[in-house]
Every structure is written in structure tokens, then in C-alpha cells.
Amino acid sequence: MTVYDFTVKDRQGNDVSLSEYQGKVLLIVNTATGCGFTPHYEPLEAMYKDLKEQGFEILDFPCNQFANQAPGSDDEIHSFCTLKFGTEFPQFRKIDVNGETADPLFAWLATEKPFEGFGKGLKFAALKKFTDMNNKAFGDKAYIKWNFTKFLVDREGRVIARFEPTVDMKDVRAAVEAAL
């Protein structure tokens, strides 16, 4: 199985086969507009502008499962992202990434590259404590621990890396450049 076997919904609710992205390096991310990590949109957009011509795509999936940090409609979320951060990369319909209603794409991504921790230090420990509480409701289907989890997919559709939101965006960019 590869990422190309999945179909997702665009903001208007139309089916989009991820096979449309075949041969490209993908960074698939679950996002939220009211999160402490929302400023990640800025380096994501910069990376997209710089690397798009080399066959790079960012696929943005808003999610409201983490402290209700993406409460708006698909159109409201899209307007926020384009006006505040100038995002041009594809943004899809808001989804769930955990639990019984988790989008199959994110369940697969997280199975391919499971959570390995947020890192070390006080900030990371605090985030882990909060996410552990938040994710209790999802049990063994707590695939994603927080907003702005990123999955790097190679040109063959295989998941090659997972980046938690605590990973420095410079490290994410370096991995994307290496994959290109």
C-alpha cells in the first residue's frame, strides 16, 4: 500500500485521489488555526514556494480534535490561512485524525510511522502530559498526538518520516530537501 491508494475530500467535498500527486514528495500535515503551533504555516508556505517547482507538495488537513483549536468551517479556515499566512498549498476538508471517525489516510500514516515522543525538556513534558489527557478518549486509535504533525512521503508514495509539532521546522525542511 502507498499514499496513492487513498482518496480524500477537497474543501468543497469532492473526491481527490492522492494518485494525482504521484511522483512528488509530499508533506502531509494536520493543522489548526488556533494552536500555539499555527505559526508553522509561515515556514510551511516558504518551503512550498521555494520547493514546489522541484516536485514538492504540502497537503493540509485541518482538524478540530485537539482542544477545539480549529472550530471554523472549511471556508473560514481557508480564509484565515490565506489572509494571515498567504498559504497557496492545497487545503482539504476538515477531518478527524483519531478515534473511530479517523480519516483512513491518517490512520495509515500513523501506522507507517508511529509516535515516538515529543523530545526532551520541560516544554515537551508539558505537551505530552496535555496530549495524553486529550487522547484518552481515543484509546488505541489515538494516532496523532497534536496539531501540526507532519508526514514526509517520498516520490514512490512511501512514508519516510514523521515530525511531531515540536520538531524544528529547519529540520523538517532539511528532510524535505533531502527527499527531493
* Residues carrying an active site annotation: 35
| C-beta of residue 63 within 8 angstroms of C-beta of residue 31 | yes
The helix (run of H) or strand (run of E) holding residue 57 is strand 56-62
| C-beta of residue 94 within 8 angstroms of C-beta of residue 77 | yes
Give which of 61, 66, 73 is closest to 31, Cα–Cα.
61
- Other beta carbons within 10 Å of 69: 19
d(CA 57, CA 24): 7
